[in-house]
Amino acid sequence: MEATAWPGVFREGRELYTINADVGHRVHGETLRSVGGVEYRTWDPFRSKLAGLLLRGAPDDVFGTVHSVLYLGGAHGTTVSHLADLWPEEPIFVIEKSATAFAPLLALARRRENLLPILADAQLPERYQADVGSVDLLYQDVAQRNQATIFAENVASCLSPKGRGILMLKVRSVTQRRPAAAIARETRAELVRAGLSVLGEVALAPFAREHVALLVRR
């Protein structure tokens, strides 16, 4: 098992791993491996776009320095659980609007104390801004038509001045009509108009088709 340049992420062959902060428990059917008394969980890039981003070539400092995270679109907690492995001591606020997805997220949070799920609509950050405060990392994966606007409004409400953001842009949720490259370009322009610098753009195929990760800072 080798450490990678991303703190807390390990690699063996083509597989990525995080150290299991909830020893003996699986979240999404992943493989658990014990090496030298440490338990690792496989991080599947076909189930987690963030693992896909790392494998497609994220910069070493993609996360920046993290003491708190706001995650929009937690779903059942697959990617969230790996972030909780990376930063087991830091608060990770998770916004999810679907009550169906929220139930497993709550169950996950009962086992991992730094996960703080909030049943809310990410389009309304004013509803949770007071609880979340100012975070170092904003991560969004909501697959909505107005993804860029949601992201920009959450940046304005909750991202610290030196914070980093990762927007997992599902281009086909914006429109079916225009080419993916044009949608990514328009999204970047919207983020720049909102006062963000776009540090990088990474296409996530073959792990997530028609998805682009946009890496930003304020």
Ligand X SMILES: C[S@@+](CC[C@H](N)C(=O)[O-])C[C@H]1O[C@@H](n2cnc3c(N)ncnc32)[C@H](O)[C@@H]1O
Residues that bind ligand X in the complex, under the rule CB under 6 A: 48-49, 72-73, 75, 78-79, 95-98, 101, 121-123, 141-144
Nearest residue to ligand X, using CB? Answer: 73
Query: DSSP letter string over 146-192?
Result: THHHHHHHHHHHHEEEEEEEEEEEEHHHH-SSS-HHHHHHHHHHHHH
Q: Quick one: 168 or 216, whose CB is closer to ligand X?
A: 168
State whether residue 197 is helix, strand or coil: strand
Q: How far is the CB of 206 from ligand X (least distance, A)?
A: 16
Nearer to ligand X, 134 or 144 (CB): 144
Least Å from the CB of residue 179 to ligand X:
22
Please tell me the total number of residues recorded for the chain in this structure.
Answer: 218
- Taking the complex as a whole, the smallest distance from the CB of residue 35 to ligand X amounts, in Å, to 25
Please name the residues in contact with 137: beta carbons below 8 A apart, sequence gap of 6 or more: 63, 64, 66, 68, 69, 70, 163, 164, 165, 166
Least distance (Å) between residue 28 CB and ligand X: 8
DSSP 14: T
CB of 215 to ligand X, least distance (A): 16
Q: How far is CA 8 from the centre of its chain?
A: 15
Which CB, 27 or 196, lies closer to ligand X? Answer: 27
Cα-to-chain-centroid distance, residue 174 = 19
Using alpha carbons only, what angle is made at residue 175 by residues 101 and 146, rounded to the nearest 5 degrees? Answer: 55
Task: Report how far residue 52's alpha carbon sits from residue 115's, in angstroms, rounded to the nearest whole number.
Answer: 22
Tell me the closest approach of the beta carbon of residue 188 to ligand X, in angstroms: 21
